[in-house]
Copies of this chain bind each other. A is one copy, B any other.
Amino acid sequence: MDMKIQSTVPEAITELLRAHQITPTSQRVKVAGILFAEPAHFCAEQVYVRVNADDAEVSKATVYNTLGLFVARGLVRQVFVEPGKVFYDSNTKPHHHFYDTGSGELTDIDALGVALHELPPLPADTELDSVDVIVRIKRQFKTRRV
């Protein structure tokens, strides 16, 4: 069963964490509250800023620890689109991404199921881990009418 948060009610979040074998500390609940308010793509720094929007209460180390834990428990998934910055994606359903190379924004693409069909066989003695499709896009040059 694929649990999803309906509201930002702390109890629901607490539940979600417990369901994934994570003891719901106040810091973890805060981080989860940000990630699961809606499907989103945040980097660690963005989570850190949001989680401390009022007063600073969660350290950067804890943000990283928590994100790492959520990844390990499958609550969140990492997306690599650029060197030196990881995005944490609270949509864990199989899907792909548009990446706007100008703004750095990620947008979801529903999984196609098609790419897989046409894949060559995996190398010997290996099994599939995941398929990531990143469609890099850029803002269009102003085209002059011909």
Binding site for B on A (CB under 8 A): 78, 80-86, 98, 100-101, 107, 109-110, 112, 114-115, 117-120, 122-123, 125-141
Contact = CB atoms under 8 A, between A and B. Distances in A.
Given A83-B80, A85-B83, A115-B115, A129 B123 contact: no
Contacts of A130: 135-136
A139 B115 contact: no
A105 to B, nearest CB: 9
A136 B138 CA distance: 26
A38 B72 CA distance: 37
**Nearest 4 A-B pairs (CB), nearest first?**
A129-B136, A126-B137, A114-B118, A115-B115
A68 B2 CA distance: 43
Contacts of A132: 132-136
A105 B132 CA distance: 16
A131 B129 contact: no
A85 B83 CA distance: 6
Given A100-B126, A126-B139, A131-B133, 14 more contacts: A78-B83, A84-B84, A115-B133, A122-B135, A125-B140, A126-B137, A127-B137, A130-B135, A130-B136, A131-B135, A131-B136, A132-B133, A132-B135, A134-B134
